Structures are given as structure tokens and as C-alpha cells.
Amino acid sequence: MAIKDLPREECYIPGSAACPGCPATMAMRIVFKAIGKNMVMIVPACCTAVIESLHPKTSFDIPTMNIAFEAAAAGASGVEAGFRKQGKTDTTVVAWAGDGGTYDIGIQALSGALERQTNFIYICYNNQIYSNTGIQRSGATPYAAWTTTTVSGKTEFRKEMGEIIMSHHIPYAAQACASYPEDLYNKVKKAKSIKGPKYIEIMAPCPPGWRFGMERTVEMGTMAVETGAWALYEYENEKMTFNGKSKLILEGKIKRKPVEDWIKYQGRFRHLFIPKKDVERIKAIEKHIDLIWERYRSCYL
């Protein structure tokens, strides 16, 4: 599927309150195109609660229910049951949450919904911070990144949500990136066709949160993939398949780029370069990425 062939129908309509260069809205537009109008969306506290615009208006042309921060997957369970009871089984139920609402405060409700085999798609748009509250550290924030609560850089590595999700043995999970719309479209489309719980996580480089120019959103996403800091993959019926450049990195057909190529454009890592280069911490980031890929290779190659 090439971009020019994507459906022309837009459910993401004018009136959005998103920042310029917002990756969440880029990804959401593609998700809406892949699923179509026969969907219902559950949104917990996250940037999207602002993006959707102020009451009584909306920038979404699909039925949308807001819910408390930790409750997206539980709320979606209820919506799914309510629709099913009314025989509306062809409507796709989508929970759309940020990384804070997924990795941290919402992980219990998410795990419960996956374990109960809830028939829905849970989408996490991961900008690696609590962005809506003003850039605080989350469980998805990478090592050494500045946030307003990790002023000298985060001292811990991010957790791997994908691995936690897979241990629920759900029929479909995937990692995508806002910079690869065709790949994202295909993954959402596939998820829509599968019954049971589906999880898709979208890497979403956030210009104000990561401190880069709004014109670089796509580039920050592609560089995350090319440096191996983010992997594109699908997990289907217990089988892992890596996609695009991630596949080539996994198979050793290309070498991942040095992470420095990615982080040097982001103000959140500025303290690793100014006043002088923090070789040790940059090396630690590289080492951790290597560790993850070594494990990918030993498990999935």
C-alpha cells in the first residue's frame, strides 16, 4: 500500500488543538484511514484529550469516549461488551493511550483486558514522556534523557512494553512508527481483521518534549529505527517478524547507525554533548541498544 493509495476519507477533521509537527496526529490519521468510520475510540488522559478539541466541539469524526488516566483498557472492555450485547460486533473498539497511560498508570487495566481476551485494538502512541502534563519522566523514557523530573538525565533504562505484552500470548502485537505510514497502515489493517486483543505501539517523536524542530518529526522517527533505538516488528500467533530496516538490522544485513546520529538533534540529550561530550553515557546507551538486539537475535532470528 503506497501513500497515494490510502483511503481519502478523513475522520481526523479540522479543529484539532495539536502542536505543530505532532506525531500523534500523524499516526492517528493513518489509524483512522486503516479502520474507517465503523469504530469507537476510548481515550484516557493524554495529549489526545487536548488534541480532540474543546467541548462541545470535536476534531474526530468517530464516536469517542474520554476516561480516566489508568482506565483506557477497562473502559474499552465495557464498551466492547456493550456493543457486543447489542449485536454491533463489526464495530472496531480502539483504546488510544500515551506511554504514561500504558507503561505506568494503565498497565494493570491493560494487562487485565489482554488476559480476558477482550476483542479490541489497544494503541499506545509512545513519545517517551508524560507530554500532556509538561514533559515528565515515564517508564518509556530512555536512559540519559532530560525531562522536567529527570533534570540531569534519566538514570534508568526504559522498560520494554512489547515484551510484556507478548507474554500475554495475544493474537497480534506490533511496533510501528509515525514516520512509516504504510507500515503502520498495514499493521492496523491486519489488527482490525483479527479477533481478540491486539496491541500496537507507535513511536511518536514529540518536538516540544524531545526538544527538536517541528520540521524534524519524521526524521526523528526514521532515525530511531535506523539507530536501532526503536524496532519495527509484528508478533502474530507467537511468531515474531521484524519489518523494514529493523529486519535488516536483525539479520545483520545492515549495521545500525550510531545512536549519536539520532540523539544529537534532540535537546533532551543536549547535556551529553555540552559543555563536553559525555562519552560514558553515550556508550551506555549504545551498549543497552546492543543488548536488546542481541536478545532479539537469540530469541527471534
**Residues in contact with another protein by the rule CB under 8 A:** 37-40, 42, 49-50, 52-56, 58, 60-68, 70-71, 73-86, 88, 91, 108-109, 111-112, 115-116
- Encode the chain in three state secondary structure: CCHHHCCCCCCECCCCCCCCCCHHHHHHHHHHHHHCCCEEEEECCCCHHHHCCCCCCCCECCCEEECCHHHHHHHHHHHHHHHHHCCCCCCEEEEEEEHHHHHHCCHHHHHHHHHCCCCEEEEEEECCCECCCCCECCCCCCCCCCECCECCCCCCCCCCHHHHHHCCCCCEEEEEECCCHHHHHHHHHHHHHCCCEEEEEEECCCHHHHCCCHHHHHHHHHHHHHCCCCCCEEEECCEEEECHHHHHHHCCCCCCCCCHHHHCCCHHHHHHCCCCCCHHHHHHHHHHHHHHHHHHHHHHC
**Least distance (Å) from another protein to the CB of residue 24?**
15
**Least distance (Å) from another protein to the CB of residue 72?**
8
C-alpha grid cell for residue 198?
491486539
Which residue number, 55 or 253, has a Cβ lying nearer to another protein? 55
**Least distance (Å) from another protein to the CB of residue 1?**
24
Question: Angle between the 23-35 and 181-193 helix axes, to the nearest 10 degrees?
Answer: 40
Which residue number, 52 or 226, has a Cβ lying nearer to another protein? 52
Dihedral pair phi/psi, residue 7, rounded to 5°: -55, 145
Which residue number, 80 or 201, has a Cβ lying nearer to another protein? 80
Is there a contact between 286 and 259 (Cβ–Cβ < 8 Å)?
yes
Which residue number, 195 or 270, has a Cβ lying nearer to another protein? 195
Which residue number, 115 or 294, has a Cβ lying nearer to another protein? 115
Which residue number, 97 or 224, has a Cβ lying nearer to another protein? 97
- In the chain, the amino acid numbered 156 is E
**Least distance (Å) from another protein to the CB of residue 33?**
16
Which residue number, 52 or 99, has a Cβ lying nearer to another protein? 52
Which residue number, 79 or 259, has a Cβ lying nearer to another protein? 79
Beta strands 92-98 and 120-126 are parallel
**Least distance (Å) from another protein to the CB of residue 177?**
27
**Least distance (Å) from another protein to the CB of residue 8?**
18
**Least distance (Å) from another protein to the CB of residue 265?**
32
**Least distance (Å) from another protein to the CB of residue 182?**
26
